[in-house]
Structure 1
Amino acid sequence: MNHQPQSFDSSQAQSPDELVGMMARAGRAAQRVLAGMDSAARASALRLAAKHIRSGAEAILAANAQDVEAGRANGLSPAMLDRLVLDEARLEGIASAVEAVAALPDPVGQVIDQSERPNGLRMSRVRVPVGTIGIIYESRPNVTADAAALCVRAGNAALLRGGSEAAQSNRAILAAFQKGLVEGGVPEAAVQLIPTQDRAAVGAMLTASGLIDMIVPRGGKSLVARVQQDARVPVLAHLDGICHTYIHAAADPQMARAIALNAKMRRTGICGAMETLLIDAGFGEAKALLGDLLDAGCELRGDARICALDPRIVPATDEDWDTEYLDAVLSAAMVDNLAGALAHIDRHSSAHTDAIVTDDEAAAEHFLAAVDSAIVMHNASSQFADGGEFGLGAEIGIATGRLHARGPVALEGLTTYKWLVRGTGQARP
């Protein structure tokens, strides 16, 4: 049964501002209904959404094929095409991720803490939905389902604006998702997709203060930079994923080689991919480790000491240390010690994910404490920088700021809190 509290015809909008306003108001009305549903009902609606994604596989994959064909014709890079392409396995992964979110503990209503004042007032802080969340993203169609599922589970309405590269895929996924929501009693307007690729619609979302409560951008540097510069709505985002892996002098050689190769080459186009490799001068297997990367097809750009180890390595420029390649390209530097690695990371890290490989527990603990990034790892590939790998289900993004949420943002990051005060007739003197 469809309980959509407000219906409208988006074709009646005369401008992007009017369109976004109409959709946001419908979303806010739907969010009030959604927030009033109990946890089991929201979870059930998400399981139905996953069911419809599976049953709609043929239509979704056909739509995706259109996007991929257009992307190739328009010269999308291999990394961008990899983000765009769906197959049966990836679509099953999308449906499974929605079910995983449905199975997660519901943060809404959770009591964060409580106390009693000397005058008898009982205070508590309780998690509540943020409200209406705008998500602006580029070529990954899985974000449509991930973002929608996380918002619905946490009682939020979602206003989605996907990139033109995945326009057909996003529409097909959302159509299936909404069928499940409606079947589960959630208003259709709780999750909406902006029906135009006009860039002015993004600007309208960024300035919709009072209608949209938070913006989450997921995409390239230019998109995130524009959002952070122009938004009049709070933003939860990371700008770059300049992730470092430091191979300490006491690293196990086989572990170091395996982690470095995985951190860079498993998937080069994700934000958790290693972009700079730091090798301690005391590590004895540097040449072999670099050879693994070169043999795997990775272009290496190194400082003078790194270049001296293999003639296939080209000199790095100053710009390389601050570049998120999202491709099979890696900058590499040799450092004298842990202090040198920390200094390099402090200068060049984007505060996303940085890792150390070492068997020296004291060095590892010092690194974990000293590196001020959202995610800091010991003896693990930076490719684990993902909400699903953290046990959070699907993530809505990685946040590298210091306010509200940091690291993989999932359900808890999509809530805020309110104070509840219970008295017995107290009046302030």
Structure 2
Amino acid sequence: MTMGLDGFTGAILAVESVVDAAAILHGPLGCKYFQSSMSDTHYTRSGSQDASELGELGFFMQARVPCDFLDVHDYINGGSDKLETVLPIIASRREGLLAIINSPGAALIGDDVAQSVDRLGLSHRTVLIDNPCCSCPASKGFEEGIIAVLDAVRPPQRYRRKRTVNLLGLSIMHKNWEGTVKELRRLLSLMGIETIATIGAGCTIEEMRASSEAELNIILCPEYGQRTAEWYAKTFGTPYLISPRGAPVGFDATEAWLLAVAHELGVDPSPAIADLTSAKSRARMALEKFNLYTGLPRGATFSIRADSSIAYPLTKWLVTYLGMWPEAIELLPGSDKKMDGELRSFITRFDGDVALDRKVCEEHVDVVFANGNEISFLLSNGMCSVGMAITISDQRRAELIPRTYWGTSGALQILENIINGL
């Protein structure tokens, strides 16, 4: 059993990750319900619509990802009329950028969507994603959506401001992304670095426009940010950085990330390193006490299903810092090849590479890192003791306090879950 998202959903969620942008589906009603649910699950907005507004044409009682409900006749005769009926209603209810995304079937009809938008006088605030890569990994579709929005917004060329950055490669598909943004901004601010925009993770159109001022773009997960960084480099000449240890997950990768950013910008990393050292001391005391009474977590087993940019630092930390053993490491489609190679090089040193041939949902382990739905399945079937969702939230679980598994606070959160769970 494997659950995941595709590039079509990735493109929609990319648009929905922008605070003042809205994805509109040019397609059948059956394609809307899942996409609307995913959008609301990954980025719940405040100020939901009232019932009368939700009942308007196009919304169908769901606030997110309205559509023009194409049917079989529209696939034969064209769906422009429906689009031109629904789009003005949606535009009156949505401020900011509108992104019309063709469903897989609608992409084959050949409707001149651009002409319809121009006829309605909405070209100034509308972007068309004509043919999203429906069968490609979610990460690729997500970047296509982000770049389409950036092309439409077209940030002006501005002077770069010293000690400023954009964070790329974090998406609303990453579990607890809001807490992650807060944590990474906090760590960077300790070094005197200002974060202008978190592209793909709750930024505004205005922040996108200001993003051209950044001195450096920091790629957190190349799967979700490499092409975006290349777009900035080509458009504005903005340099970018990828930490050699992958995403800042776990103490070791977080320290490497902080030092890499500090070196690139020529700032003093010591305040952030001091914060990390303090967290390590707290962790050490808790682990010594836990190990004294249980002998754990050394020898406990784990499995991971994630992009290689997360799987690599997380695996290395769990093995070297906690003495845990990998039973299954399943990389998501579209994983970064360099991080994949680093992971394989590390894991073969202790004959753990057999884990790379196993499926997470087929192994009984102590701790699982996967998406929320998979973890719910594994826990309910007694296949693990502890589950930490790193992508795709479990819709049945309410979380009101900001959390993260990234950075200094995230490492403590992971340890807390393992200690309490085991």
Normalization by structure 1: what TM-score? 0.31
Q: Name which structure has the greater RCO, CA cutoff 8 Å, separation 6+.
A: 1
Give the greater-gyration-radius structure (CA). Answer: 1
Q: When you count strand as a share of all residues, which structure comes out higher?
A: 1
TM-score by length of 2: 0.32
Higher helix share: 2
